Structure 1
Amino acid sequence: MSDKLPNLIDPLLFAERRSILAGSLKISTLERLSGMVANTEADIEVDVRFAKQGKRAVVSGSIKTLLELECQSCLQILAWPIELSFKLAVVSSLQEADQLELDCEPLLLDGEKVSLNDLIEDEILLAIPDYPKHGYDCIARQQSKDPGFDDNSQTQTNNPFSVLAKLKKTGE
């Protein structure tokens, strides 16, 4: 068991040794994810286990973190807890991936080593919704808190066809 997580891992060697990696990462170390969150200094708790299932190497584990995303309705900070588990089977070709059991996702190994950071980042990105929003009507709640909000001012807009309505009444 290790507290420091390596970036590059050899999943075949780790599976032979039945290794366990547990520790934490900063979101700032994950390039794609850090561009999507408000707080890049938050920790990601990771527990990764390597094993053999028959002749196949299997990587399984869990990821826990609390992401601060931007709500796509009100543009305020939205706390999004992530608690997920994964199970990946190491394959060397797409044909092998097609033959996997249903409880495993493929991990295509095209060299000797795999980036553990990329693997963790991919799993988190798959768990984030395309359009994160609060579970309630956040815009209505925001409007009720704003004393200067005038509901009529937003409903009355310039209608580009108002000239046509006048022409219709006058018959010109």
Structure 2
Amino acid sequence: MSDKLPDFIDPLLFAERRTVLSGALEIAALERLSDLVLVKDGDVEIEAQFGKEGKRAVISGTIKATLELACQSCLQALSWPIDLKFKLGVVSSLQEAEQLEIDCEPLLFDGEKVSLNALIEDEILLALPDYPRHEYDCILQRSSKDADFDDESQTKTHNPFSVLAKLKKTGE
């Protein structure tokens, strides 16, 4: 078990040693994710176990965080909990990736070390919704709070063709 998370990992070496990494990454250190969140303070808790399934190296673990996203309906802050499990099979080619178990996603490994931050960030970005929104109808609630108008003016609408209707009646 490790408290200090390394910047780069060698998945094959870690799988041979059956390494377990546990700790926190700062949201601000995850560049692509920090561009999407409103509050960059906070941490992402991770636990990753490296092991082998047959001859294949496998990385599995959990990621937990609470992110402050912008609601795409009202643009207000939206607290979005992340609690996901991941399982990656280390492969060196697309042919190997096709042979993976159905519960395992491929991690293409070319012999270079892999950035742990990028790996965790990819998993989080894949779990985020395309258009995060509040569960309730935030537009209606916001408009009812912001509106200082009387109901009569809201029910009467201006008809742009009313001038034509008057001309039709007068015959001009």
- Could you tell me the TM-score, scaled by structure 1's length? 0.89
Residue 118 of structure 1 is matched in structure 2 by 118
Within-5 A mapping of 1:10-25: 10-25=10-25
Further displaced range: 153-162 or 86-95: 153-162
Further displaced range: 10-19 or 155-164: 155-164
Distance 1:103 1:169 in 2: 73
Structure 2 gap segments, 5+ residues each: none
Within-5 A mapping of 1:1-172: 1-146=1-146, 148-149=148-149
SS in 2 for 1:44: strand
Distance 2:82 2:149 in 1: 35
Q: 1:139 to 1:102 in 2, by over 3 A?
A: same
- Could you tell me the TM-score, scaled by structure 2's length? 0.89
Contact 1:88 1:107 in 2 (8 A): yes
Aligned pairs, how many? 172
Further displaced range: 69-78 or 136-145: 136-145
Contact 1:8 1:116 in 2 (8 A): yes
Further displaced range: 136-145 or 101-110: 136-145
Structure 1 gap segments, 5+ residues each: none
Contact 1:143 1:149 in 2 (8 A): no
Distance 1:162 1:32 in 2: 53
Distance 2:95 2:160 in 1: 59
User: What letter corresponds to residue 31 of structure 1 in structure 2?
Assistant: E
Distance 1:29 1:3 in 2: 17
Cα deviation per residue 1:88-127 (whole Å; 9 max; x = unaligned)? 0000001111111101000001233111111100010011
Residue 67 of structure 1, CA deviation: 0.3
Distance 1:2 1:149 in 2: 60
Distance 1:96 1:165 in 2: 73
User: What letter corresponds to residue 97 of structure 2 in structure 1?
Assistant: A
Further displaced range: 147-156 or 14-23: 147-156
User: What letter corresponds to residue 99 of structure 1 in structure 2?
Assistant: Q
